[in-house]
Structures are given as C-alpha cells and as structure tokens.
Amino acid sequence: MKKNKIFVACDTTNIKKIKKIITHTKNPKFKIGYKFGLEFLNSKNGRKFVSKLKNKIIFADYKLHDIPNTCMSTIKAIKDLKINYLTIHISSGLEALKAAKKVSEDIKLVGVSILTSMDDRLVKQIGFSKKVSEIVKDQAKIASKAKLDAIVCSPLEVRLVKKYFKNEVITPGIRFNSKLNDQKRTLSPRQAFKNGSDWLVIGRPITKGNIKNNLKNLTAHLIK
C-alpha cells in the first residue's frame, strides 16, 4: 500500500522539542521527512544537529534567493549537512536555478513559488500585476526549464502546476480546520492529496499538543 508522504515542519530552535517530534512521529502508515527552516538552521546548535541526523529524510528550507554565483557557492557550503531537499525561490530567475541545479548533485532542488502567506491582494502590494495562480503557472514553466526536482506551491495550485511541471509537488498551507494563522491559501490534507500533492508540509497541526494523537487524527481524516 502506498504511504502518504509528510514533511513534519520542525519550527523551533529547541533541540529537546525537535528530538521529541522525531521520536513521536515514527509511524508505519506514513513516509515521514523533517523540514528545518532558517530559524533552526541558523541557530547556535541547529546546523550541527541536522548534520548528525542519520536515516532521515531532511528538507532544508533555506529558500535561496540570490544571483547565480551566490546560489552555487551556498549549496557547496552546506553539502556537509547531507540533506535530501533544498529550497530556492523560483523568482531568483532561470539562470540562478540552472546554476544551482548544476552543483546540487544528490540534493533534490526544490523551487519555491508564491508563499502560502500571500494572496492576490498581497502580491499586488509588492508589484505583481497578475493573480497568484497566473504567477505560479509561469513559475512552474520556469522550474520545468531549469529541470528542478520539485516545486513548493499551495494546495490550491497543485493541479495547475502539474500541467506544466512533471516532478514532485510539495504543499504547505495544510490545515485541519479554519484556523489559518499566517496562511492565506490552504486546504485540508485529504483535499491536498486528492489534488495531486506528492508531499504535504505540516507543522503545528502535528507538532502542537499530543503528537501521536495528532497523527492518529490525520490517519482518520485521510481514510474518511
């Protein structure tokens, strides 16, 4: 039976909490990976901790966004972390994406489209004239040209992205209820997988409170 794939977002700098998350998310019903963001990777002990993790799928959410040479040198500098997935903003441009892909080797390079905290009103504020869906469509085409390994987009755009990008699609913005927090474009886990997401990124709905019970609730939600 195919396992649903989940990246658990470890959004804390507390090593003790991270260890608890990893221990309590061992579940045979899911293929589990762990997403670490800038908060943790730039913390005093975060980088060291990630570099020592073994037999785990590691998603390093660096969200690189720079000129081609800097993107290349950054990827070379973090290869000691032995990560599996690494993010780069598609808005860095085709040349930067190609340069990053050239040196990524065994690391899967993941293009970040429009953040799930943005909507049509907010992208207009920062100078875009198109709607989010139109921008994401253009970015999917660029990611395909750059031969990226995966794309991050909201669950609302998965079906659209899959028309133009044939590799993995990773979706944050996953919520079990109406509490959106800082997210704007969200869906439930079941809806996201139905739309074609390959991986879901889930943080607070799993890590807040009783982690094992939260995973049980996720399992029940998916089989409804």
| CB-side neighbour CA atoms (13 Å) of 75 | 29
220 by Cβ neighbours in 10 Å (0-12 / 13-18 / 19+) ranks as: exposed
The answer to whether 143 and 97 have CB atoms below 8 angstroms apart is yes
User: Which member of 20, 31, 56, 63 is catalytic?
Assistant: 63
State yes or no: is 52 an active-site residue.
no
Name which of 51, 137, 143 is nearest 100 in CA terms.
143
Are the C-beta atoms of residues 83 and 108 closer than 8 Å to each other? no
Q: What is the DSSP letter of 50?
A: H
Residues belonging to the active site: 63
